[in-house]
């Protein structure tokens, strides 16, 4: 599911007109408050579907303000981190720069779909950047909020040119629905997206503008060293770009591309990276017939293992590189094994049957993991994911939780 875009959305961008409904703003999420995780005092159980491990039960501790999270196996409980008043606020980064695919996109895909791309943007044409393929906020927005910002920095394509990089600048979100580590295959003619290579070019352009505004490379280097770089990419390559079944070197080739991107960002001044790995793609609502669930998940695992090795190696060679890899795969697996512990009633089908957010959808999106058939997740799911990666518990991020990455000098 990590990938964001699924097969259906490919069709959508191929036939933008037919899918015009997709560019409507999502249904209001005004009814959404907090995920319905176990309340204080309630009992929770973890069952191992395969029967390999013993089941367990736990009680959501009274020391938590309202709700807790329970992680299986073992039934360890944690107070919901976003409900706990923290003595120490996280060190807010100077800015956040966000790259990758649809799970982090807050409007770039929308601009592409609206056909306004390449039209010079002036103040009057600033586009509504509210379109997100979920019932509310996505992972990028939650993580930015936890860092002390009002939300994700704006989507690159929605910004008037020249981009304002002066006072109040909080970074830029370059992530785009459908983006891969690979450039577009010409066979996917008509798929509108901004691949990682192009997102990095856009960052380079932003950087040049910052240099002019801040008065030189040194000031920019200092600002970027104190900034946070959030990336989620790879899932779209594995679900859509590659001929299936994959060739044996496919995953290795993708990781080589990923390494190039990290090196390139580092050479431009990026130092602190939060990377989200590829989720349980075989079980995404985006995956249609013809794909083997286990095989797809195996490739995701291979990619994720390779990403660990890659970053471990880069950290030894690139000066001052700090990173954390968030394990979306294991997190998803954990939630899917015991959905009700996290407030979910359904982790298989999407809340929105049509994939068109202007059409009727399920009554309570917070009970669903998937928002739509494209594999996008609900606000509830995004909140949980972001909470786990930013605040912990620590088993889903390595070597440190995102929050600790900010505190490191
Ligand atoms: C919010 O809840 C009310 C009452 O349950 C319901 O009538 C309304 O349709 C809900 N709004 C949304 C956007 O789901
Ligand atoms: C993924 O899908 C397969 C096939 O439908 C299913 O057997 C498996 O339990 C699912 N995995 C999870 C973690 O839900």
- Tell me the per-residue pLDDT of 67-86, one tens digit each, with 9 for 90 and over: 787 776 667 777 776 666 55
pLDDT at residue 129 greater than cutoff 70: no
Ligand 1 pocket, mutate which of 31, 351, 352, 364 (most atoms under 8 A from CB): 31
pLDDT > 90 fraction of the chain, expressed in percent and rounded: 40
Instruction: Give the Å distance between the CA of 53 and the centre of ligand 2.
Output: 17
Please state, in angstroms and rounded to a whole number, the distance separating the CA atoms of residues 38 and 341: 6
Q: Which domains does the chain have, with CATH numbers?
A: 2-79 (no CATH), 96-407 (3.40.50.1110)
Please state, in angstroms and rounded to a whole number, the distance separating the CA atoms of residues 212 and 354: 47
At residue 352 the predicted structure's pLDDT band, cuts being 50, 70 and 90, is confident
> pLDDT value at position 125?
33
Q: Which of 25-29, 307-311, 353-357 has the highest mean pLDDT?
A: 307-311
Q: Which of 45-54, 95-104, 179-188 has the highest mean pLDDT?
A: 95-104
The mean per-residue pLDDT over the stretch 101-111 comes to: 88
DSSP 373: T
Q: Which of 148-152, 241-245, 325-329, 368-372 has the highest mean pLDDT?
A: 325-329
Q: Between these two residues, 256 and 146, which has the higher pLDDT value?
A: 256
Ligand sitting nearest the alpha carbon of 283: 2
Cβ–Cβ under 8 Å, residues 265 and 200: yes
Please state, in angstroms and rounded to a whole number, the distance separating the CA atoms of residues 196 and 204: 12
Task: Copy the structure tokens of residue 91.
Answer: 């060190």
Mean pLDDT of the chain: 80
At residue 1 the predicted structure's pLDDT band, cuts being 50, 70 and 90, is very low
Q: Which of 1-10, 293-302, 335-344 has the highest mean pLDDT?
A: 293-302
pLDDT at residue 26 greater than cutoff 70: no
28 lines ligand 1 (CB under 6 A): yes
pLDDT > 70 fraction of the chain, expressed in percent and rounded: 76
Sign of CA dihedral 105, 109, 114, 119: positive
Please state, in angstroms and rounded to a whole number, the distance separating the CA atoms of residues 81 and 326: 17
- Helical H segments across 194-292, by residue range: 196-214, 217-225, 235-236, 250-267
At residue 154 the predicted structure's pLDDT band, cuts being 50, 70 and 90, is very high
Taking CA atoms only, the protein residue closest to ligand 1 atom 11 is: 31
The mean per-residue pLDDT over the stretch 310-339 comes to: 95
pLDDT at residue 256 greater than cutoff 80: yes
What is the H or E stretch that residue 171 is in? strand 171-173
Number of Cβ within 10 Å of residue 275's Cβ equals 24
DSSP 370: B
> pLDDT value at position 82?
64
Taking CA atoms only, the protein residue closest to ligand 1 atom 1 is: 31
Ligand 2 pocket, mutate which of 49, 50, 73, 283 (most atoms under 8 A from CB): 283
Cβ–Cβ under 8 Å, residues 381 and 4: no
């Amino acid at each position: 599911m990590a990938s964001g875009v699924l097969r259906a959305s490919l069709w959508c961008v191929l036939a933008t007109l037919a899918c015009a409904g997709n560019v409507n703003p999502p249904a209001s999420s005004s009814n959404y408050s907090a995920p319905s995780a176990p309340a204080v005092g309630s009992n929770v159980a973890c069952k191992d579907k395969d029967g390999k491990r013993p089941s367990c039960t736990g009680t959501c501790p009274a020391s938590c303000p309202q709700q807790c999270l329970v992680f299986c196996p073992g039934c360890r409980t944690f107070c919901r981190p976003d409900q706990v008043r923290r003595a120490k606020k996280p060190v807010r980064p100077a800015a956040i720069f966000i790259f990758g695919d649809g799970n982090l996109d807050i409007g770039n895909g929308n601009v592409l779909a609206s056909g306004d791309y390449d039209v010079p943007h002036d103040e009057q044409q600033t586009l509504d950047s509210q379109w997100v393929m979920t019932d509310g906020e996505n992972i990028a927005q939650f993580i930015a909020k936890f860092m002390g910002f009002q939300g994700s920095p704006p989507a690159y394509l929605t910004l008037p040119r020249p981009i304002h990089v002066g006072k109040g600048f909080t970074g830029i979100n370059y992530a785009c629905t459908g983006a891969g580590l690979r450039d577009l295959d010409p066979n996917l003619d008509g798929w509108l997206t901004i691949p990682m290579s192009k997102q990095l070019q856009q960052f380079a352009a932003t950087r040049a503008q910052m240099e002019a505004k801040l008065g030189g490379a040194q000031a920019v280097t200092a600002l970027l060293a104190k900034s946070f770089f959030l990336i989620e990419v790879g899932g779209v390559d594995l679900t859509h770009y590659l001929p299936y079944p994959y060739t044996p070197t496919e995953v290795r080739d993708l990781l080589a591309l990923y390494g190039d991107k990290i090196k390139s960002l580092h050479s431009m001044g990026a130092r602190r990276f939060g990377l989200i790995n590829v989720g349980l793609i075989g079980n995404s609502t985006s995956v249609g017939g013809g794909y083997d669930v286990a095989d797809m998940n195996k490739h995701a695992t291979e990619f994720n293992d390779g990403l660990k090795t890659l970053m471990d190696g880069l950290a030894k060679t690139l000066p001052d590189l700090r990173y954390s890899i968030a394990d979306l795969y294991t997190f998803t697996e954990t939630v899917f094994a015991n959905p009700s512990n996290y407030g979910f009633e359904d982790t298989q089908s999407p809340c929105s049957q049509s994939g068109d957010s202007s059409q009727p959808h399920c009554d309570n999106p917070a009970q669903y993991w998937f928002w739509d058939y494209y594999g996008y997740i609900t606000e509830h799911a995004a909140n949980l994911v972001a909470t786990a990666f930013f605040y912990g518990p620590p088993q889903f991020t390595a070597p440190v939780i995102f929050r600790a990455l900010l505190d490191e000098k």
